[in-house]
Homo-oligomer: A and B are copies of this chain.
Amino acid sequence: MEALKQRILEEGIVLSDQVLKLDAILNHQIDPKLTTVMGKELAARFRDQQVTKIMTVESSGIPIAFVVAAELGVPLVFARRKKTLVGDTETYSERVPSFTKGIVTDIMVSRQFLHADDRILFIDDIIANGDAARGLIKIIERAGATLVGMGVVVEKCFQHGASSIREQGVRLEALVKIKSLEDGKVQFQE
């Protein structure tokens, strides 16, 4: 994904050794063309896995997850954060800390949309510490569904999320891997 690397270099803002702001392409503004190319690439990597459902956690993962779902011809379920008045009580929920928000949130999936015979592909925008990701993986396990893998746009290799998920035996694919943000510079892992 050279086009994506180029966009990250041009439009990403390194806020610290830990934080890369990608509001211009992932977290606030979306380029539909780039997102479509990225989603098709992730779909291609899991096309032979008999995926029955795409899952993500709201919000930034929704556009790319939508493209993957459209490409594979399966529904998209996005886990919700926190409880709303119209939410039902028939939900799986996991409490997770959020690195970017500095708070704890509950992520929830209705039992209506996640079944033991589902083969789930989990799509997200960025994996850093992986707290929300591990929460959703726990929910998928509790439902007895099969997690066929996880696909992300950006993996931050210097944080432990991706490695901890791979250690669980999950196949995790990233479109780009970032090795370091030191000295204000994005360094990719080849």
Contact = CB atoms under 8 A, between A and B. Distances in A.
A78 B35 contact: no
Interface in A64-91: 66-67, 69-70, 73-78, 80, 82, 84-86, 88
Contacts of A80: 28, 59
A110 interface: yes
A166 to B, nearest CB: 25
Given A21-B86, A85-B101, A85-B102, A32 B70 contact: yes
Interface residues on A, range: 35 or more
A71 B21 CA distance: 27
Interface in A110-141: 110, 112-113
17 contacts: A19-B86, A24-B112, A27-B86, A28-B77, A28-B78, A28-B113, A29-B75, A29-B76, A30-B66, A30-B69, A30-B75, A30-B77, A32-B73, A32-B75, A59-B62, A85-B100, A85-B101
